[in-house]
């Protein structure tokens, strides 16, 4: 099943995407199901099964002037993994880390498919990173690796937009700030449930700028699998429904190129992941 969040007058709502691309508002189709994505995800696989039934039976809505939001418009946690592709670690000249490198982004950085990536005034080194994003369903703490995928509701495409000068050249390396400028966490367009994705550990993942391929790899290059990441992070903090994990990026990022390539106003960026979709964002300069 494919799910989207969209903006309604009273706040975000969740819709099921039918095979023909039309949307069925979940709560209108079945008033016993919740109106928002995190509430739906909290219900676990049974809630998703009921959503699929309601989506099939429901009447498509009029999408005119409906604003698409990120699948989880305001995640409680945006957790990101650095240096998690073997081929990307080689590209940066670093040894693969013995444990996951974890950082985060502020929720104010979230944007949807179709929204703009805004180049901040405070940097001219804005880079792109195609990433598989795992979305937590049922939350938990101290989740064993063997049980971890039962806590992943689905997947979507993400772009871990990064100001490289802030990330690496500020005192102590300001990863949080360099990764958290407004608009630096676009993800979407759809949350594709885990059963529909199948094995997320072997998907083609790539990124194009203005149609030119910049990244092209497979999630089989992940050093730490989604299950390992969920288990590792849940040892530290309680994972909640709708938390998102940006799982790391393959090679080809701008900073590793000679000469480096950074995003420019007018660029059209596309992140594509097999069986999941395409995330499209255009780049504009900050006013």
Q: Which residues bind Mn ion (CB under 5 A)?
A: 129, 160, 249
In the DSSP assignment, the letter for residue 5 is E
Kindly state the smallest distance separating residue 82's Cβ from Mn ion, in Å: 6
Kindly state the smallest distance separating residue 246's Cβ from Mn ion, in Å: 6
Q: Which is nearer to Mn ion, 95 or 146 (CB)?
A: 95
Q: Which is nearer to Mn ion, 33 or 163 (CB)?
A: 163
Q: Which is nearer to Mn ion, 198 or 260 (CB)?
A: 260
Question: CA dist 229 to 96, 153, 225, Å?
Answer: 15, 15, 6
Kindly state the smallest distance separating residue 156's Cβ from Mn ion, in Å: 15
Which residues are registered as beta bridge partners of 117? Answer: 283
What is the per-residue DSSP string for 80-147? EEES-BHHHHHHHTPPPPSS-EEEE--GGGEE-TTPEEEEPTT-S-EE--EEEEEEE-S-BSS--GGG
Interatomic CA distance for residues 188 and 211, integer angstroms: 19
Kindly state the smallest distance separating residue 247's Cβ from Mn ion, in Å: 8
Q: Which is nearer to Mn ion, 23 or 175 (CB)?
A: 175
Q: Which is nearer to Mn ion, 53 or 107 (CB)?
A: 107
User: Which residue do the tokens 């979407």 mark?
Assistant: 188
Phi, psi of 268 (to 5 degrees): -115, 120
Report the length, in residues, of the chain.
287
Kindly state the smallest distance separating residue 44's Cβ from Mn ion, in Å: 28
The residue nearest Mn ion at its CB is: 160
């Amino acid at each position: 099943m494919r799910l989207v969040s969209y903006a309604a007058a009273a706040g975000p709502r969740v819709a099921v995407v039918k095979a023909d691309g039309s949307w069925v508002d979940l709560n209108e189709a079945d008033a016993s199901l919740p109106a928002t994505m995190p509430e739906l995800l909290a219900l676990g696989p049974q809630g998703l099964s009921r959503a699929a039934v309601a989506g099939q039976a429901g009447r498509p809505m009029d999408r005119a002037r409906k604003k698409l939001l990120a699948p989880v418009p305001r995640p409680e946690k945006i957790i990101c993994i650095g240096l998690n592709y073997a081929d990307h670690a080689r590209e940066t000249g670093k040894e693969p880390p013995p444990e996951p490198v974890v950082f985060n982004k502020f929720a104010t950085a979230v944007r949807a498919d179709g929204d703009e990536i805004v180049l901040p005034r405070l940097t001219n080194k804005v880079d792109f990173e195609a990433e598989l994003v795992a979305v937590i369903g049922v939350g938990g703490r101290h989740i064993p690796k063997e049980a971890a995928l039962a806590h992943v509701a689905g997947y979507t495409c993400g772009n871990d937009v990064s100001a490289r000068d802030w990330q690496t050249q500020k005192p102590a390396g300001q990863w949080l700030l360099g990764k958290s400028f407004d608009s630096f966490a676009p993800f979407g367009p759809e949350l594709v449930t885990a059963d529909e994705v199948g094995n997320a550990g072997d998907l083609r993942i790539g990124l194009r700028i203005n149609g030119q391929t910049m990244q092209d790899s497979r999630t089989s290059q992940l050093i730490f699998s989604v299950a390992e990441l969920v288990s590792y992070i849940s040892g530290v903090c309680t994972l909640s429904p709708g938390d998102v994990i940006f799982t790391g990026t393959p090679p080809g990022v701008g900073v590793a190129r000679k000469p480096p390539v950074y995003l420019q106003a007018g660029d059209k960026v596309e992140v594509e992941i097999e069986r999941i979709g395409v995330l499209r964002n255009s780049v504009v300069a900050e006013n």
